[in-house]
Amino acid sequence: MKKKIEFCLLYRDMWQSSGKYVPRVDQLKEIAPVIVKMGCFSRIESNGGAFEQVNLLYGENPNTAVREWVKPFNEAGIKTMMLERALNGLRMYPVPADVRQLMFKVKKAQGVDIARSFCGLNDPRNLELSVKYAKEAGMISQAALSITYSEIHTVEYYMSVVDEVVKFGADEIALKDMAGVGRPVMLGRLVKAIKDKYPHILVQYHGHSGPGFSVASMLEVAKNGVDIIDVAMEPLSWGMVHPDVITIQAMLKDAGFDVPEINMNAYMEARSLTQKFIDDFLGYFIDSKNKMMSSLLVGSGLPGGMMGSMMADLKGAHNGINMFLRNAGKKELTEDELLVQLFEEVSYVWPKLGNPPLVTPFSQYVKNVALMNILQMSQGKERYSQIDKNTWDMILGRTGKLPGTLAPEIVALAEEKGYEFFTGVPQDNYPDELPAFRKEMEEQGWDLGQDEEELFELAMHDRQYRDYKSGVAKKKFEEELEKAKNSSDIKVVIKEVKAPEVIKEELITKIKQEHPEAKPVIATVSGTVLWELAIDEPSIEKPVGTKFEEGDLVCFVSAYFGNEEIKALYPGRLCSIIAKQGDKVMKGEIIAFIE
């Protein structure tokens, strides 16, 4: 009898790996029946990850979106699947246990069948509550292994994680090859090891196209007993996304597997609708580079889905780095040269940071350290002079146990700063918060929602939820969309106009000439500059001449996860401000100068 292999369509991840936003609920409702008609999917990855957060950023209700989106699949008998980040839930930083527990209850009530749970560090302690809460809520618990490639990440290593999550009661195992760097033969051996030891456990494979291994990997895992394979479809397949269902179905059919047929008329209709959504507004937020695969990712191991944000970070830091190199009489870097340098720096620092699997959010942490190292070294400084709080939490063990060993220089730096390493259970660092959020909703007169789903959204995404309720989120999104449309409509330049980044670079050069001893205050994250935590005030920058000691708070940058403190790296007085209150900055850009 032929081995049966099913397909899961990653409609949420297709969008997240391509750009910033996902389709609106009316668009999702339009395409859902067409996906059902395709007849080849037993599962749809419908929500989770950034899905709910994106809806809040639109100024739309994410609970309505989930309920309306999954309903047609529920009715058709197609299982729906969410992605959640264990200790981090649906966001990029840790979540209290009571909020995590409520998440599974809410999502089950909304019609989501399967919870795919992954810990970016593969720490079973972070997965234990995910498995427990998912099963208590009546969901299928799928524990995911964050796949990466190093001498540490062996079949034996991954099987030690599998053994633990099976003890917890996980129903299924996923191989989450988020960067697509898992080597095909090793992945096949891992699937075989799982199936040999736990034949009753269903195994699902998820691999991004990025560096080009994924098709071979899918054939290898199929040969070794995988049950379900994650796929994408045009116009959002390949590139930094996932292989297309047509190719994978044809390959596996030829290899002798029992795979479902594809209704090609429905495929073309779904393809056309997806393109319509791109043309409507989503395409304004898709980086064209995400349509390309890159073998450069083989060495760095970074996920393809990070390419968009990484390129934005590079653009932000590029001018600043070249200014420092120019002032030092050194050769400036092209963007491509800087990209290669960043990949090389990631490869260098990754093992020194304990080899965390390069998956959200730890891939961002490693990339951030690498980028800030390049920026600091361009100024003649040492590596690791700027490491953000979230990265320190990872280094110190507050978010889980690192797979590898920290380099002596990282340990010494932690000791120098007086930081303590944590060896307990990460969840214990984050006490319950639901009572405080209930109280806030009562005081605001807000409805807790069906199955307490509104309470959950506030507790999981408090800042974004408040912006949604106040109408600020919708206003900001409409302004962002209008700006994106206007930018794309500029086809002809009537007269030479200096771009804002050119004006900014000229200003920085002028300041350096006037204040040769001035040193920059650098944005460690991308976001909005807040000189004080009252963004609505027109101008509340600290006055020029304000004195700072090393380590003093200079300002904030409001990022996706909250407000990042920007501190002085050296004593001195504020001599010039580049980014004013409310200005947008990219990671690596100069905010101000101190001398």
DSSP letters spanning 436-488: HHHHHHHHHT----GGGHHHHHHHHSHHHHHHHHHTHHHHHHHHHHHHHHHHH
| Element spanning 34, H or E | helix 25-38
Enumerate residues 6+ apart whose C-beta is below 8 A from 71: 32, 111
- Res. 56 pLDDT band, cuts 50 70 90: very high
Quote the pLDDT of residue 313: 66
What CATH number does domain 6-290 carry, 3.30.465.10, 3.20.20.70, 3.30.2010.10, 3.20.20.140?
3.20.20.70
- Alpha-helical regions (H) of 287-361: 296-300, 307-327, 335-352
pLDDT above 70 for 269: yes
Residue 234 DSSP SS3: coil
Determine the distance from the C-alpha atom of residue 513 to the mean position of all C-alpha atoms in its chain, rounded to a whole number: 40
Quote the pLDDT of residue 281: 93
For residues 23 and 575, give the distance between their C-alpha atoms in angstroms, rounded to a whole number.
45
φ, ψ dihedrals at 76, nearest 5°: -90, -5
pLDDT digits (tens, 9 = 90+) for 435-454: 999 999 999 999 999 999 99
pLDDT, average across residues 166-177: 98
Full-model pTM:
0.81
Q: For tokens 């379900």, name the residue.
A: 228
Report which DSSP code applies to 543: P
For residues 570 and 541, give the distance between their C-alpha atoms in angstroms, rounded to a whole number.
19
| Element spanning 307, H or E | helix 307-327
For residues 170 and 163, give the distance between their C-alpha atoms in angstroms, rounded to a whole number.
10
Report residue 11 as tokens.
């409609």
Q: What are the boundaries of each domain within the chain?
A: 6-290, 294-429, 500-594
What is the torsion angle, in degrees rounded to the nearest 10, for the CA atoms of residue 154, residue 148, residue 126 and residue 397? 90
Domain 500-594 sits in CATH at 2.40.50.100
Enumerate residues 6+ apart whose C-beta is below 8 A from 78: 36, 41, 42, 43, 44
User: What's the mean pLDDT when you consider all of the chain?
Assistant: 88
pLDDT above 90 for 533: no
Q: Residue 547 CB: number of other CB atoms within 10 A? A: 11
- Higher pLDDT residue, 475 or 499? 475
Which span out of 57-61, 576-580, 588-592 was modeled with the highest average pLDDT? 57-61
pLDDT digits (tens, 9 = 90+) for 11-52: 999 998 888 899 999 999 999 999 999 999 999 999 998 899
Report residue 50 as tokens.
């950034």
Enumerate residues 6+ apart whose C-beta is below 8 A from 56: 62, 457, 461, 464, 465, 467, 468, 473
Which is nearest to 58 in space by CA: 50, 46, 48?
A: 50
Which span out of 107-111, 314-318, 480-484 was modeled with the highest average pLDDT? 107-111
pLDDT, average across residues 359-374: 84
Q: Which residues pair with 232 in a beta bridge?
A: 244
CB 357 within 8 A of CB 147: yes
Upper half-sphere CA count for residue 566 (Cβ side, 13 Å) = 30
Q: Which residues pair with 342 in a beta bridge?
A: none
- Higher pLDDT residue, 548 or 564? 548
pLDDT, average across residues 110-123: 96
